Amino acid sequence: MLKDLKVLNGNLELAFDEFNYEYTVEVSDDTEKLELELKYDDGVNVSVIDNELKNSDNIVYVKASKDDKEDIYTLYVHKKVTNEVTGIDLFKDSLEVKPEELELYKVQILGISIFLILVIIFSLLFKKKKIK
């Protein structure tokens, strides 16, 4: 009865197959309603049920019926939450360290640490070998 189903404003996870009755669809956070393109046989009544997307997870049904036969396709619709990416300019001031903000003991510890690392490196490089 239903020959093809396409979601125009979302991503249908699997390609449509008329014998598969469950699908997962991902749409953007601001989508209020699924836009569907449906192809079906002549004389088939098709209706879309619960197509108001309110929460992050919704279920939309596509019902195709002809005479005594009825097929119901279930679309599990997930609204993808998009977080806005904030520019680095908002954090630029907090990332810069001004010399007057450094505490004196931190500078001293840093200087001593660098000196000790250099002493260790030179002692390893110029170590005298014992001759037996």
Q: What is the pLDDT of residue 90?
A: 58
Mean pLDDT, residues 84-106 = 61
Question: pTM of the prediction?
Answer: 0.61
CA distance 89 to 102: 22
Nearest to 26 by CA among 73, 75, 68: 75
For the four alpha carbons of 104, 109, 110 and 115, in that order, the dihedral sign comes to positive
CA distance 32 to 12: 16
Q: What is the pLDDT of residue 60?
A: 96
Mean pLDDT, residues 100-119 = 82
- What are the structure tokens assigned to 90, written together? 């908002």
- Asked if 36 and 7 count as a contact pair (C-beta separation under 8 A), the reply is yes
**How many of the other CB atoms lie within 10 Å of CB of 86?**
8
CA distance 8 to 27: 10
pLDDT tens-digit series, residues 39-72: 999 999 999 999 999 888 999 999 999 999 999 9
- What fold characterizes domain 2-80? Immunoglobulin-like (2.60.40)
Mean pLDDT, residues 8-37 = 94
**How many of the other CB atoms lie within 10 Å of CB of 76?**
14
E strand or H helix at 78, and its extent?
strand 69-80
- What are the boundaries of each domain within the chain? 2-80, 88-125
Per the model's pLDDT, the better-predicted residue between 33 and 81 turns out to be: 33
